[in-house]
Structure 1
Amino acid sequence: MTAISPPSTPRTPSATSASSAPPPPPRRRGWNSTGITRLRREGAIAPIAAFVVFFVVYVIINPELLTRFQLQTASNLVVPLALVALGQLVVVLVGGIDISIGAIMSLCNVVFATQLLTLPVPVAILLAVLVGLGCGLFNGFLVAYAGLPAIAVTLASAFIFGSLAREVLDRPGGGVTKEIYLATSGELLPFVPVALVWLAVIAVGLWLLLQRTALGRHIYGVGSNMESVRAAGINARLTKLLAFGLAGVLTSFGAMMLASSTVTGDPRSGDPYLLSSIAAVALAGAAFTGGRGSIIGTILAACTLGLIGNLLFFAGVNSYWQYVISALIIVAVVGLPVVWRKVAFRVKGIRS
Structure 2
Amino acid sequence: MTATVTPPPAAPVTRAVAKRQGLVRLRREGAFAPAAAFVVFLIVYIIINPELLTRFQLQTAANLVVPLAFVALGQLLIVLVGGIDISIGAIMSLSNVVFAAQTELVPVPIAVLMGLATGLACGLFNGFLVSYGGLPAIAVTLASAFIFGSLAREVMDRPGGNITTEFHLATSGEAIPFVPVALVWLTLIAVLLWFILQRTALGRHIYGVGSNMDSIRAAGLNSRLTKLAAFGIAGVLTATGAIMLAGSTMTGDPRSGDPYLLSSIAAVALAGASFTGGRGSIIGTILAGITLGLIGNLLFFAGINSYWQYVISALIIVSVVGIPVVWRKVSFARKGARS
| TM-score, normalised relative to structure 1 | 0.93
Structure 1 runs not aligned, ≥5 long: 1-19
Q: 1:183 and 1:35 mapped to 2: Cα distance?
A: 33
Q: 2:10 and 2:124 mapped to 1: Cα distance?
A: 50
Q: 2:13 and 2:151 mapped to 1: Cα distance?
A: 55
Q: CA deviation at 1:309?
A: 1.1
The residue type paired with residue 51 of structure 2 is: E
Q: Which residue of the partner structure matches residue 8 of structure 1?
A: none
Q: Which residue of the partner structure matches residue 152 of structure 2?
A: 165
Q: CA deviation at 1:31?
A: 2.5
Q: Which residue of the partner structure matches residue 282 of structure 1?
A: 269
Q: 1:340 aligns with which of 314, 327, 330?
A: 327
Q: 2:152 and 2:306 mapped to 1: Cα distance?
A: 25
Q: 1:105 aligns with which of 59, 76, 92?
A: 92
Q: Which residue of the partner structure matches residue 140 of structure 1?
A: 127
Change in 2 beyond 3 A, CA 1:349/1:137: same
The residue type paired with residue 72 of structure 1 is: Q
Q: 1:61 and 1:209 mapped to 2: Cα distance?
A: 39
Determine what percentage of the aligned residue pairs are the same residue.
78
The SS at the match of 1:286 is: coil
Q: 2:174 aligns with which of 187, 191, 216?
A: 187
Task: Give the superposed CA RMSD.
Answer: 1.4
Q: CA deviation at 1:316?
A: 2.6
Q: Which residue of the partner structure matches residue 62 of structure 1?
A: 49
Q: Aligned runs of 1:10-25 on 2, under 5 Å?
A: 23=8
Q: 1:225 aligns with which of 212, 220, 224?
A: 212
Q: CA deviation at 1:24?
A: 7.5
Q: Does 1:131 align with 2:108?
A: no
Q: Which residue of the partner structure matches residue 47 of structure 1?
A: 34
CA contact (8 A) 2:95 2:119 kept: yes
Over residues 92-143 of structure 1, what are the superposed CA-to-partner deviations in whole Å (9 max), with x where a residue is unaligned?
A: 0000000000000000000011100110011001101110000000000000
The SS at the match of 2:129 is: helix
| TM-score, normalised relative to structure 2 | 0.96
Q: Which residue of the partner structure matches residue 202 of structure 2?
A: 215
Q: 2:222 aligns with which of 226, 235, 254?
A: 235
CA contact (8 A) 2:81 2:230 kept: yes
Q: Which residue of the partner structure matches residue 3 of structure 1?
A: none
Q: 2:39 and 2:204 mapped to 1: Cα distance?
A: 30
Q: Does 1:26 align with 2:11?
A: yes
Q: 1:287 and 1:118 mapped to 2: Cα distance?
A: 43
The residue type paired with residue 26 of structure 1 is: A
Q: CA deviation at 1:350?
A: 1.5
Q: Which residue of the partner structure matches residue 61 of structure 2?
A: 74
Over residues 128-163 of structure 1, what are the superposed CA-to-partner deviations in whole Å (9 max), with x where a residue is unaligned?
A: 111000000000000000100000000000000000
Larger radius of gyration: 1
The SS at the match of 1:188 is: strand
Q: Which residue of the partner structure matches residue 297 of structure 1?
A: 284
Over residues 305-326 of structure 1, what are the superposed CA-to-partner deviations in whole Å (9 max), with x where a residue is unaligned?
A: 0111111122232221111100
Q: 2:21 and 2:217 mapped to 1: Cα distance?
A: 29
Q: 1:304 and 1:72 mapped to 2: Cα distance?
A: 16
Moved segments of 4+, more than 3 Å? 20-25
CA contact (8 A) 2:48 2:301 kept: no
Q: CA deviation at 1:28?
A: 2.2
CA contact (8 A) 2:75 2:234 kept: yes
Q: 2:197 and 2:44 mapped to 1: Cα distance?
A: 33
The residue type paired with residue 58 of structure 1 is: Y
Q: Which residue of the partner structure matches residue 314 of structure 1?
A: 301
The SS at the match of 1:96 is: coil
Q: 1:89 and 1:276 mapped to 2: Cα distance?
A: 12
Q: 2:77 aligns with which of 90, 98, 105?
A: 90
Structure 2 runs not aligned, ≥5 long: none
Q: 2:212 and 2:9 mapped to 1: Cα distance?
A: 38
Change in 2 beyond 3 A, CA 1:28/1:152: same
Aligned length: 334
The residue type paired with residue 28 of structure 1 is: V
Q: 1:82 and 1:228 mapped to 2: Cα distance?
A: 32
The SS at the match of 1:339 is: helix
Q: 2:146 and 2:7 mapped to 1: Cα distance?
A: 69
Q: Which residue of the partner structure matches residue 262 of structure 1?
A: 249
Q: 2:144 and 2:125 mapped to 1: Cα distance?
A: 9
Q: 2:102 aligns with which of 110, 115, 119?
A: 115
Over residues 33-84 of structure 1, what are the superposed CA-to-partner deviations in whole Å (9 max), with x where a residue is unaligned?
A: 2110110110001111110111111111111000000000000000000000
The residue type paired with residue 324 of structure 1 is: V
